[in-house]
Structures are given as structure tokens and as C-alpha cells.
Amino acid sequence: MQISEAEKSPENLKQATEKGKKIVRKFNDRDSLLKKFKRPCNHDGNSFRCNRIKRSDIKFIKNQLYATSNKLEQNTILSYMITIGPIERKRSVKPNPRARNFSTMFHMKPEHSKRRNRVCLKFFRAALGITKDRVNRLCKKIEACVSLKDRRGGDKVSYKSHDKKQKIIEFIGNLKGRESHYNRLKSKRIYLAPELSIAKLHKMYNSQCNNPTDHCSLTMFKVIFRTKFNIGFSSPASDFCAFCTRMRHKIKIEKDANKKNDLMIQLRIHQKRANAFYKLTKQTPLESLSFCFDMQQVQPLPKTPINDAFYAQQISFYIFFCVDMKAK
């Protein structure tokens, strides 16, 4: 049976490195108890209502924001607190103004209120513990209607070995395996010969590659073998012929070419005789009748859980089963 790639293969996610752990810690709440928080302003007018946001409200908002350490999910929550609008005053008060394309408004919603309160940028940053650059980048993405994607780092290596991985998948898919004798309807696992192993298959793949650049490491081969396919190795047979086993071991250790050739001839003759014998056993004369019998089980009677009665049983029910070998 030809081996096919698994339908639902698990995603090959790389383990978190030390750099990745630092990134996760960077976007956690470093001041959950607000010990370092100081109000940067006292706005309580119509434009800004920073004083109406209590410390309990800030804790509630920060718990929602830092419930996840993922930066993309945090930016999504922050985007609901930011409103982008057109510039209302084009004439700036400052002597050297910077040209701005949009204006921003920041809102924070108290815990037990349905109304959002507008706050200033300083209070917004101090309360949530985020930097000015992060707020500016987020506002530019919202104004440009750009999706909030994380452009940091990423996998820049795996795409180089895409063709190599496809060749490994094709090599493993062309292997001939067999299904299990049990649970054929439930399990889709394929079993290879017990003489093979992942290391041997890796050597076979590298040996059949004409281009040295197609060679792969044992680690890459193992990952593809274990994640892309549902393959196992069958158990060694326990009913080998003693003569065949003895001759195979002699052939392996024999160094003389002539003696090894004689041993191989003896083994081949023995195997041909065995095949001829099995062919004769399959022939059934027309005037003969073949039965297969089996002593299936012995049931002691009477069946009782009482200890004294169990050892006093006098009757045994023998189940002797016979079946016609020609019957279907």
C-alpha cells in the first residue's frame, strides 16, 4: 500500500528561544498594582476628563489589556480606545509646526459606566504603561487602514528548504507499507518492514539524491516523518524458519566470496522448496474433504463466585469447533 501524507498534520511550531521569551515579557504588565503610577495632569473639563478615571478603573482596563501578552491582540484592544479624525485647526500656535494629516482622540471607559471619557495622551500613556512611539505607530496604521500585523522578526529560513522538504515527502510517500491486521476501519496507520528505521530511511534518501544540495539532516527527516505521515514499524516476526535465520547470519559474517555464494545458493534452494510445499498445500483434490478444528474453550460448571463451590466443580464443558475449509 502506497503511503499518503496525513490529512491533518500538526503545525510545526518552533520552540520559543531566549529572544522570544524576552519579547513575551516586554508586553506584560510591569505595574499591575499601580505603585509607580502618578497622574501627569488634572484635566476635568469639557475637553479632557482625566480626573474622572479612578485607580480602580485603570486596574480594570489594564487587566483587560494585559490579559494576553500578544502584541497584536493588545493593539486590537488599544485601537478601540483611539479615534482618528480630520485636522480642525491647520494654523498651529507653535513657531515651527509639524505637518499633520490627522488628529487623534483617546478615550477610556470606567468599569461601572457606559460612557467613555476623553483623556489626554500623557494620561493615556501613563495609565496603560505604553510608549509614545507605540501609540504613534498604532495611530498611523489606523489612519491608513492597514491591518495590525507584526512585522518583527519572523521565519526567514524555512522557505529556502521548501523544495527539499517536498522531495523528502515524495520519497516517504513512495515507500510501500501495509495496514495493521487489527482495526482496519479505525486506524489509518501504515507499517513498514521491521528491518527499517528512520535513520536507515534517511541514509537511503541521501544516497538516492543526485544533487548534493538535496541532502538533508537527520533532524529534518525525523520532523517530516513524524509530523506529515502516520507511519510505524511492524514488530519482528516471532516464527522465522531456523534454517533461514541461521543461513542469513552465516552469509553476513562470511568473508570468503566463494563460500558466501554457496551459502546463498543453499538458502535460495531451501526457499524454493518451501514455496513449492505451500503451493501443494493449497491444492485440494475434488474427492477430499478438509476440516479445521480448534479447542476453543473449557467452561467449568456450575458457574458460581463462591470459593468452596468453585473448587468443588465436577463438570467441564468443552467447546470443540470444526469448520469446513472449503466453506465461505
How would residue 10 be classed by pLDDT, with cut points 50, 70 and 90?
very low
Please identify which residue in the block is written with the cell numbers 528491518: 195
> Read out DSSP for 136-203?
HHHHHHHHTT------SS---SGGGGHHHHHHHHHHHHTSB-EE-SS-TTT---EEE-TT--HHHHHH
pLDDT tens digit string along 284-305? 777 888 888 888 888 888 777 7
**Per-range mean pLDDT, top range of 60-69, 176-185, 277-286:** 60-69
Q: Looking at per-residue confidence, does 327 or 170 come out higher?
A: 170
Contact 267, 309 (CB under 8 A): no
Q: Residue 13: its pLDDT value, please? A: 38
Whether residue 255 has pLDDT greater than 80: yes
| CA gap 75, 58 in Å, rounded | 17
Contact 34, 66 (CB under 8 A): no
Residue 309: how many other CB atoms lie within 10 Å: 11
Average pLDDT, stretch 97-123?
A: 89
Q: Residue 16: its pLDDT value, please? A: 40
Q: Residue 61: its pLDDT value, please? A: 94
Percentage of the chain beyond pLDDT 70 is 87
Quick one: DSSP state of residue 88? S
Q: Residue 128: its pLDDT value, please? A: 94
Q: Which of 16, 115, 120, 8 is nearest to 69 (CA)?
A: 16
Q: Residue 325: its pLDDT value, please? A: 76
How would residue 11 be classed by pLDDT, with cut points 50, 70 and 90?
very low
| pTM for this prediction | 0.45
Is-cis flag, bond preceding 285, omega within 30? no
Contacts of 36 (CB under 8 A, 6+ apart): none
3-state secondary structure of 128: helix
Whether residue 186 has pLDDT greater than 70: no
Contact 316, 301 (CB under 8 A): yes
pLDDT tens digit string along 111-122? 888 899 999 999
Contact 150, 71 (CB under 8 A): yes
Average pLDDT, stretch 80-92?
A: 83
Contact 40, 122 (CB under 8 A): yes
pLDDT tens digit string along 40-56? 999 999 899 999 999 99
Contacts of 317 (CB under 8 A, 6+ apart): 298, 299, 300, 301
Which range, of 46-50, 126-130, 318-322, averages the lowest pLDDT? 318-322
| CA gap 49, 135 in Å, rounded | 20
The ranges assigned to domains in the chain are: 22-89+97-143, 162-180+187-233, 251-280, 291-324
